[in-house]
Amino acid sequence: MNKLKNFYKNKKVLITGATGFKGAWLTSWLLELGAKVIGSGYNPNENKNLFYQLNLQKKIDLYLFDLRDLKKLKNLMKKTRPSIVFHLAAQPLIHLSYKKPFTTFDVNVRGTLNVLEVTRNLSFVKSLLIVTSDKCYESNNSTSGFKETDILGGVDPYSASKSSMEIMTRAYRESFFNKRKNIGVSTARAGNVIGGGDWSTKRLIPDVIRSLRRNKTILIRNPNFNRPWQLVLEPLKGYLILAKKQFEKPKTYSGAWNFGANPKNVTNVKSIVNYIINYWGSGKMITRKNNFYEQVNLQLNSNKAKKELKWTPTYSIKSGVKMTTQWYERVYRGKENPTLVTSSQIKKYMNDSKIS
């Protein structure tokens, strides 16, 4: 199960949204595994800093275009002929979905629709993984954890767009992809990821690090909101395992999958900030009122992935926060090369996860 290197070596892998935060980490990891990575990105991209910090544009075949352009996507996939596709491209921010609801739906839904429509007519694609969000579920204020079979929904534009992606993918899988024997199609739902190199606006870790670097007081919203925090490498490990499994046994592993943090990792915002201040060695915070809706409790039940994929999170929340803080410390305080820091953290995680 954990022998990912043998599987991904020399495989052609397309990552949509490669220039984003998660995309940059996934690209870096796949390069460590020896894959031939093709990436698509979009300008302007509010969180492209990490991708270019790591000089990934020089290490992969990168194509910059709007994923809503069906013709360009079709041409790209026919030209590069990937056997595995990770669809990460999205408008990923809740606060921005309130400012730009049309764009959020248009990018998240139509972009995904294009990926599905193009892929269903290409025989060389063997594994398609659509990344959505834990916020695709209809809120029921439960703390027991959402299961893959729970009702989808969302009252804010971001959540609604993610549940729409899920429904659309299922429809394509049942109506079209099931007629093909040699392709697996899945959706992956994960929660609040943290990790070095994230500079999104109005996202907790980047905001905290920005304040610490400028010696400013940290302003936080909803200090008592609980979130299933996890290091970015945790769900990415799940994506890599799932894409491999459904490549090998498409009918067995196609479907919806949760990759959530362990229940004990569900921690409130205030505690996370205190962990970071402790690891950083200085800083103070105050709270401010949030002016848009967010679910109070978010937790995924990942028993399906644990049982059928043998996937489990490796780190505790404190270990994940520590590794994240260390990335920023090493790069900005220690002036270390971000590529070497990122590579060393991926190798450490693989070693700790017993991945070869």
Interval 15-70: pLDDT, tens: 999 999 999 999 999 999 999 999 999 876 666 689 999 999 999 999 999 999 99
Distances (CA, A) of 115 to 87, 148, 314, 346: 8, 22, 31, 28
In whole angstroms, give the CA distance from residue 313 to residue 306: 9
- How many H-runs (helices) and E-runs (strands) does the chain carry? 15, 13
Mean pLDDT of all residues belonging to the chain: 92
User: Taking the model in full, what pTM does it have?
Assistant: 0.94
Count of the separate structural domains present in the chain: 1
pLDDT digits (tens, 9 = 90+) for 200-237: 877 888 899 999 999 999 988 788 887 778 999 999 99
Q: CA 221, 295, 20: angle at the middle one, nearest 5? A: 75
Tokens of 234: 């945790």
Range of the domain at 46: 4-352
Q: Would the CA dihedral through 118, 119, 120, 124 be positive or negative?
A: positive
* CATH code of the domain covering residue 195: 3.40.50.720
For the stretch 144-158, pLDDT in tens is 789 999 999 988 999
Catalogue the E-assigned strands of the chain: 12-16, 36-41, 61-64, 84-87, 127-131, 184-190, 193-194, 218-221, 226-228, 230-231, 255-259, 266-268, 285-288
What confidence category does residue 139 fall into, taking pLDDT thresholds of 50, 70 and 90?
confident
pLDDT in tens, 267-326: 888 999 999 999 998 899 988 766 555 555 568 999 999 999 999 999 998 999 999 999
